[in-house]
Amino acid sequence: MTLTDAVDFNRAVLARAYVRVVGVNREISWMLAEIFLPMLSVTAYIFLYRALGAPKMYEGLVVLGAAMIPFWLVVLWSMAMQFYWEKEMGNLDIYMASPTNPIALLLGMAIGGLVMGGLRSFAVLLVGLGVFRVELSVTSWPALVVAFVLTLSALFTMGMAAASVYFVTGRKGIKINIALMEPIYMLSGMFFPMKNMGRILGAVASIVPLSIGLDAIRQVTLPGMANLEFLPFKVELAILMVMTVVFGVLALKLMARMERKGKTEGTLTEKWL
Amino acid sequence: MTADDTPIAEKPAVPRDNLARREIIGGLRNAMWVGWQMESNWTKTWIYFLYAATRPLALCLIIFFIFKFAGNRPGAQTQFLSTYVGNAFFTIFIAVASGISWVVIQDREHYRIIRYIYATPMPFWIYIVGRATVVLAISLVSLAIILTFGNLALGLGAPFSRIDWAVLIPSTVLGIVSAASLGLMFAGVCLVTARHSILMAEGAGAVFLLTCGVIYPLEVLPGWAAAIGKVLPMTYWIELVRRSFGGYNFTPTLADLSTKGTLLGLSVLTVAFALLAFRWFKFAEDRAKKTGQLDMTTNY
Amino acid sequence: MPPAILTKNLRREFQKKGKTKHVALDGVDIEVEPGEIFGFLGPNGAGKTTLIKILCTLLYPSGGEAYVDGLDVVKDTREVRRRIAIVSGGEQSGYGIMTVFENIWMFSQFYGIPSKIAKDRIWHYLKAFGLEKDAHTKVSKLSTGMRQKMNIIRGFVTDPKIFFLDEPTLGLDVHIAREVRDTIRNWTTDHPDKTVFLTTHYMAEAEALCDRIAIIDGGKIVECDTPANIREKVGGGAVYHLKLEPVPPDLSFLDAIPAVRNPVLADANEATGQCEVRFNLDSDDQLSHVLQAAETRGFRVAGFAKAEPALEDLFMTIVGRKLRDEE
Ligand SMILES: Nc1ncnc2c1ncn2[C@@H]1O[C@H](COP(=O)(O)OP(=O)(O)O)[C@@H](O)[C@H]1O
Ligand SMILES: [Mg+2]
């Protein structure tokens, strides 16, 4: 990649991200819904813990989990489904016939999603801290930042890899996506510590970077996590790093394969409906 | 091209009383068939049912793990049963309510066939009811899966042999009607707004989860939120379902109500809800026709 | 300078359900020079879109070679993409919730055009198309015609060397279609080195716009030349209409005159006992032979006309003849 290539790539990423953010914000009610929704589920589970007379720390656990939901939704809906949507909307051939790398399109969606997801996540934290008086105490900010960044990078590379897979599965992809929402909330320990699922289910759950990432983030923000952690903090960081690399390579490979297969079979731009 | 070119608003509406019963039944059957195809024709039937049960099952498992994590007090087992059953039946509520608004969205945005449906003499509400029936049937199957799974794998201890059917069946019918009414209200909202209204429908589902004492007693809510819950039919439906499973005293404030009285109250609230929903949907439909929003799409 | 587009024995097959293969392109050879407006004319299903997709790197050929600006479309994908733009008619591309300006701008950014330059170009073309008032209108609110203009501007803004247009006026009314054609022609006048490759199934469009036309049918090129030459080749120019009375049982009386080609018996009317015979003739001089032959057989010539053929007729002649040859 030359310097001009890199500049062009950036330009494409930013343009896509810009359009995504502006597009969402243009519909006020939409934005409200996006911010409002994740808060409701937090609230429900906090009340459940209260009904059970659980320690205050458990509520912090829920708030952190819910604060990560928006990023997972970005992966699921903005990234994994992207090629498929674009094809259905008749944009994919325009993208593919342009000199830009399809990765730029996905990264653009990721960054746009990061802005939106960040906003929603922030809203959840505000409600958690302000209304429910949840107590978080960050033991090490650098550790938190590293854990968060690694979680996102593993998530987003996973989203990119999924984009090619979903492109091929088409309408089934949407169904899979919908079917995966709550199971992933469950498996990633969004509302209870991952350790609680036991080793076997925990190992299965670790395939989703969200689970490990969330566990790592909780370890450096919740004082009471000391004996509830799934794996040691540093091990979790290492796993996230490996995942980023593996999913990244996989994404590139799958994307090239998708294009090759689509061009051979003539399905690259053919719509389902 | 004729269907494309004729403005929908100018099509003469067929007065409902002109419809023969045969036409209504035919229309219903048609809508059900379309609904089933749209829901399931992407895979094998048994995979489809597994798929349909996955979401609610995951929600129930979340409850299970939360209890495993935090529910180690005396009496937690009955509380678990009450919570699990409440949550399980609530999945029907969500399926029916969001299923109905989804019909409007899906057909308008994705399949772009809504204008052709409007172009047929069948009133749209028949189409919606037909589609909703399919959704309901599917959610009942997944309810059975959830409860059986709970008993076999999670130690739920749901007393299948001792269920009070005389309470369960009428209350659930009423509950479904009120869920459908809510769905119709949201379908109305969907007709006059953009795609994101599907999010609002889910959001509304969450509001009901919050205020209707589904997974915790009303008492943990702040007073004003509990007050909202007390005027919503779903609260009483879930309470009655719980009682039919032997789960009394989950919500102390409702415990004093007699089962018969609760049923009566639920009936009154349901009828009121349904009337409101119908009114609102008609209004929204008229508005959509006036503003030409009936077949709009919103890409972003 | 390499040809703008070059294909050699280009083939594309599609796997249909079951084991059968459908041949969409069957050995296509074309060469388009830089600066040409080249039209690809054919009925639905002829293979036009398939060819455009291959040239735009969206589809692999099953056989043969294809070059755009001297670059192999299979191997030099990225470099080809830098040089082209593609716009299809009847497409619903773009993001409904974004404005016209934002949509065009976003796509321009995928070509590495600095934002400032892109914006200037967008305004330039919006003005040229009379769309500047709608620059900040959401795409979902556009009419089909405006939407298609937006798509074409999207192509212009990326300043392609070779512009591919797949049925650009599909579904547009006559007025808008003419506007679209005019702007395409103006663009090539302003940039004489640019090549336009467009497909259409409107004969008049190809004739009005193109320097050269290839006629494709069933995946095969049946004719490729300038519109004028195609007329020449097929019909030798004019079509002659002769009204005869009574209706002849057949046209064997014309067999003896070698100058008569493609004779057709048409519009036989039982009531009046008249009919019309149409044919091409090498030159007007030969007409006397025809009239003579008719009279010798006892037919009265009730009327006579000579018409320049529309490309429409030519197309039918070419495609019709070709199909018959194959049988
Ligand atoms: N992806 C595909 N799969 C199978 N057949 C295809 C595909 N794309 C095109 N075809 C077939 O190839 C032929 C040529 O199609 P196309 O190039 O789209 O025609 P045109 O653009 O001239 O109308 C048609 O018979 C069409 O059915
Ligand atoms: Mg075509």
Please say if the pLDDT value at position B88 is more than 90.
Answer: yes
The ligand minimizing its distance to the Cα of C44 is: 1
- pLDDT tens digits, one per residue of C184-207: 999 999 999 999 999 988 877 888
What's residue B200's pLDDT? 66
> Which of the residue ranges B161-165, B185-189, C209-213, C279-283 would you say has the lowest mean pLDDT?
C279-283
Arithmetic mean of pLDDT, B175-199: 77
- Residue B111 DSSP label: I
Please provide the average confidence, as pLDDT, over all residues in chain A: 87
Share of chain C above pLDDT 70, in %: 93
Q: Are A17 and C87 spatial neighbours (Cβ–Cβ below 8 Å)?
A: no
Provide CB contacts within 8 A for C40, sequence distance 6+. Answer: C48, C51, C52, C197, C198, C199, C200, C213, C214, C216
Nearest-neighbour CA in chain C from B300: distance (Å): 5
Highest mean pLDDT among A160-174, A238-252, C170-184: A238-252
Please provide the average confidence, as pLDDT, over all residues in chain C: 86
The ligand minimizing its distance to the Cα of A265 is: 1
Measured between beta carbons, which residues in chain A are less than 8 angstroms from residue B80? none
Share of chain A above pLDDT 70, in %: 93
Rounded to 5 degrees, what angle do the CA atoms A150, A156, A161 make? 125
- pLDDT tens digits, one per residue of A150-177: 999 999 999 999 998 888 877 777 777 7
User: Would you list the domain boundaries of chain A?
Assistant: 3-263
CA C110–ligand 1 middle distance (angstroms): 28
B partners (3+ CB pairs within 8 A) are A, C
Provide CB contacts within 8 A for C99, sequence distance 6+. Answer: C135, C136, C137, C138, C139
Nearest-neighbour CA in chain A from B104: distance (Å): 17
| Tokens describing residue A231 | 């794996």
In sequence order, which ranges of chain A are alpha helices (DSSP H)?
3-26, 28-51, 56-73, 82-89, 92-96, 102-130, 141-169, 171-187, 198-205, 209-221, 233-265
Q: Is residue B71 part of a domain?
A: yes
Arithmetic mean of pLDDT, C42-46: 87
Q: How far apart are CA A173 and CA A171, in angstroms?
A: 5
Please say if the pLDDT value at position C144 is more than 70.
Answer: yes
Which residues numbered 124-153 in C keep a CB inside 8 Å of some CB on B? 139-140
Which residues numbered 109-168 in C keep a CB inside 8 Å of some CB on A? 109-112, 114-115, 154, 158
The pLDDT confidence band at residue A33, using thresholds 50, 70 and 90, is low
Q: Are C253 and C293 spatial neighbours (Cβ–Cβ below 8 Å)?
A: yes
Provide CB contacts within 8 A for C95, sequence distance 6+. Answer: A19, A23, A89, A91, B299, B300, C102, C103, C106, C139
| Tokens describing residue B4 | 């494309």
CATH 3.30.70.360 fits C5-226, yes or no: no
Please say if the pLDDT value at position B107 is more than 70.
Answer: no
What's residue B238's pLDDT? 94
Pocket of ligand 1 contains residue A271 by CB under 6 Å: no
Arithmetic mean of pLDDT, C141-164: 93
What's residue B76's pLDDT? 80
The pLDDT confidence band at residue A32, using thresholds 50, 70 and 90, is low
What's residue C297's pLDDT? 82
Please say if the pLDDT value at position B4 is more than 60.
Answer: no
Residue-wise burial string across A48-69, b where 16 or more C-beta atoms lie within 10 A, e elsewhere: bbbbbebeebbbbbbbbbbbbb
Model's pTM, two decimal places? 0.79
ipTM strictly over 0.90? no
User: Would you list the domain boundaries of chain C?
Assistant: 5-226, 236-308
Share of chain B above pLDDT 70, in %: 80
Q: How far apart are CA C55 and CA C61, in angstroms?
A: 9
> Which of the residue ranges A190-194, B171-175, C238-242 would you say has the lowest mean pLDDT?
C238-242
Q: Which residues pair with C212 in a beta bridge?
A: C38
Arithmetic mean of pLDDT, C126-145: 91
Nearest CB neighbour to A48, from listed B54, B200, B215: B215
How crowded is residue C25: how many other Cβ atoms within 10 Å of its Cβ? 29
- pLDDT tens digits, one per residue of B191-205: 776 555 556 666 778
Q: Which residue of C has its CA nearest to A4?
A: C112
The ligand minimizing its distance to the Cα of C88 is: 2
What's residue C324's pLDDT? 46
Please say if the pLDDT value at position A50 is more than 80.
Answer: yes
Highest mean pLDDT among B12-26, C86-100, C263-277: C86-100
CA B144–ligand 2 middle distance (angstroms): 50
Nearest CB neighbour to B220, from listed A37, A47, A193: A47
Nearest CB neighbour to C110, from listed A12, A89, A269: A12
| Tokens describing residue B227 | 């007050």
What's residue B227's pLDDT? 94
Residue with the nearest Cα to atom 26 of ligand 1? Answer: C45
Question: What's the total number of domains in chain B?
Answer: 1
What's residue B8's pLDDT? 38
CA C103–ligand 2 middle distance (angstroms): 24
What's residue B2's pLDDT? 36
Q: What is the CA radius of gyration of chain B?
A: 21
What's residue B198's pLDDT? 57
One-letter amino acid for residue C54 of the chain: I
Residue-wise burial string across C147-186, b where 16 or more C-beta atoms lie within 10 A, e elsewhere: bbbbbbbbbbbbbbbbbbbbbbbbebeeebbebbbebbee
Arithmetic mean of pLDDT, B41-65: 84
The pLDDT confidence band at residue B188, using thresholds 50, 70 and 90, is confident
- Which structural domain, as residue segments, surrounds residue B199? 19-291
The pLDDT confidence band at residue A30, using thresholds 50, 70 and 90, is low
Pocket of ligand 1 contains residue C90 by CB under 6 Å: no
Q: Which residue of A has its CA nearest to B43?
A: A172
CA C58–ligand 1 middle distance (angstroms): 14
Share of chain C above pLDDT 90, in %: 50
Q: How far apart are CA C252 and CA C266, in angstroms?
A: 15
Per the model's pLDDT, the better-predicted residue between B182 and B19 turns out to be B182
What's residue A140's pLDDT? 92
- For A71-98, give the DSSP string: HHHIIIIIIITHHHHHHHHT-HHHHHTS
Establish whether the linkage from the previous residue to C246 is cis, with ω within 30° of 0.
Answer: yes
One-letter amino acid for residue B183 of the chain: G
Q: Is residue B26 part of a domain?
A: yes
> Which of the residue ranges A134-138, B45-49, B175-179 would you say has the lowest mean pLDDT?
B45-49
Arithmetic mean of pLDDT, A103-123: 87
What's residue B199's pLDDT? 63
CATH 3.30.70.100 fits C236-308, yes or no: yes
Q: Does B291 touch chain C (CB under 8 A)?
A: no
